[in-house]
């Protein structure tokens, strides 16, 4: 690929924007050879604070999950990386 850096940056920015929009619409996005980005909605939940003896109701929440593809899993190192965070 012979593209100027500015153009690549703009293209990637557009890509990320579209990915965000798709995830916002609760759609999974498949990136071939990398994996699938999906959005999961967790229901509202009630919790009890044992210290204050109070019940709290938390609103529903959406979070982004990633499942690696088999292609990516296959190329992952079989030994622990030293600089792994």
Binding residues (CB under 8 A) for other proteins: these are 1, 3, 8, 10-37, 39, 44, 46, 53-66, 68, 72-73, 75-81, 83-85
Q: What's the min distance (Å) between Cβ of 4 and other proteins?
A: 12
Q: What's the min distance (Å) between Cβ of 17 and other proteins?
A: 8
39, 65 Cβ separation under 8 angstroms: yes
Instruction: Tokens 């959005």: give the residue.
Output: 39
Instruction: For residue 26, give the nearest of 14, 43, 41, 45 by alpha carbon.
Output: 41
DSSP 1: -
Q: What's the min distance (Å) between Cβ of 51 and other proteins?
A: 14
9: helix, strand or coil: helix
């Amino acid at each position: 690929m012979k593209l100027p850096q500015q153009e690549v940056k703009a293209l990637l920015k557009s890509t990320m924007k579209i990915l965000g929009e798709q995830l916002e619409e609760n759609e999974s996005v498949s990136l071939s050879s990398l994996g699938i980005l999906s959005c999961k909605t967790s229901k509202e939940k009630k919790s009890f604070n044992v210290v204050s003896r109070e019940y709290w109701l938390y609103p529903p929440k959406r979070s982004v999950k990633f499942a690696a593809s088999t292609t990516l899993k296959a190329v992952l190192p079989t030994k622990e990386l030293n600089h792994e965070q």
